[in-house]
Amino acid sequence: MERTTHRPTERVLNILELLAAHPEGLTLTGIAEAIKAPKSTIFPIIQTMLDRRFIFLDKPTLKYTVGIASFCVGASYSSNKNVLEFINNEIKYIVSEIEETCQMGILDRGSVLYISKVDPDKKIDIRLISHVGKRLPAYCTALGKALLYQFDLEDLKLLYPEGLKAYTKNTITNLEILAQQLNQVKEDNIAQEVEEVTEHLRCLAVPLSNNGETVAALSISIPTFRATEEKLNLAKSLLLSAKKKIETYFAAVNIDVESLTFKNELYR
């Protein structure tokens, strides 16, 4: 049976996802342009979301941000998922050991959706463009490559029909090269990227799987000037150890994969 989309509901969700990715806020015009909808059409939706406190309006700037009701819904989800707490404890341990940023992400079609991030206590030398709720193309991040490692070349062509956009001079834009890198992840369980989305930053990641299906991925981000062989080996060791513990936990609690992932719809 062919799936139909309810346009008003889709617009509500598009607005929430958009504001989650722009914590600085957006005006009504900015929202309308981003989701490609007339202001007259989305204004009643915005007003209802505002009245229900799912979004917030900063009157001096006329910018909308995510509201307290959205936070409460998210908090309720997290509180009911012991698995997320378990993973976050592992992330905090990794950060305490290596003193670098550790992140968790899931695959949303061709993008990584960041759902957890822990920074070290020390001052961060390079500002990461990622944050919880942010989406970045999967093909140019270590997290994304870990999430895509089971995809073959034909899958990648379906996922990125318009090709791969370059974000830095190091971004991989050739699908065949990307497929080769994913094959390497299958061999050693470590995905890597060097300055492909952020200059002067190197990232390593591991896929987190359950019953052969990729659920999520963990990554460590290291400024290139600190990416010594010793630190890279430590990062790999910490990630692989966390992967083993988390996947063992998945098996023990019989995790509901769909509670943590989007359905993989290549053809959407």
Give the residue with greater pLDDT, 121 vs 185: 185
What is the reported pLDDT for 83? 78
CATH number of the domain at 81-259, please?
Answer: 3.30.450.40
Residue 68 predicted with pLDDT over 60: yes
Inform me whether the pLDDT recorded for 129 exceeds 80. Answer: no
Cα–Cα dist 264/268, whole Å: 9
The C-alpha angle 37, 40, 42, rounded to 5 degrees, equals 55
Residue 6 has pLDDT above 80, yes or no: yes
- Identify the pLDDT of residue 131: 67
Inter-residue long-range contacts of 209-214, CB under 8 Å, 24+ positions, other chains counted: 209/247, 209/250, 210/247, 210/250, 210/251, 210/255, 210/257, 211/257, 213/257, 214/107, 214/146, 214/147, 214/149, 214/150
H or E, element range at 213: strand 213-223
**Dihedral Cα 20, 145, 167, 155, nearest 10 deg:** -100
Condensed to tens digits (0 to 9), the pLDDT of residues 27-54 reads 999 999 999 999 999 999 999 999 888 8
Question: Whole-model pTM above 0.85?
Answer: no
Q: Is the pLDDT of residue 231 over 70?
A: yes
Residue 3 has pLDDT above 70, yes or no: no
Q: Kindly report, as residue ranges, where domains of CATH 3.30.450.40 are found in the chain.
A: 81-259
Mean pLDDT to the nearest integer, 148-176: 94
Give CATH for domain 7-71: 1.10.10.10
Instruction: Outline which parts of the chain fall under CATH 1.10.10.10.
Output: 7-71
Higher per-residue pLDDT: 125 or 148: 148
Q: What is the mean pLDDT of residues 87-113?
A: 92
Residue 238 pLDDT > 70 = yes
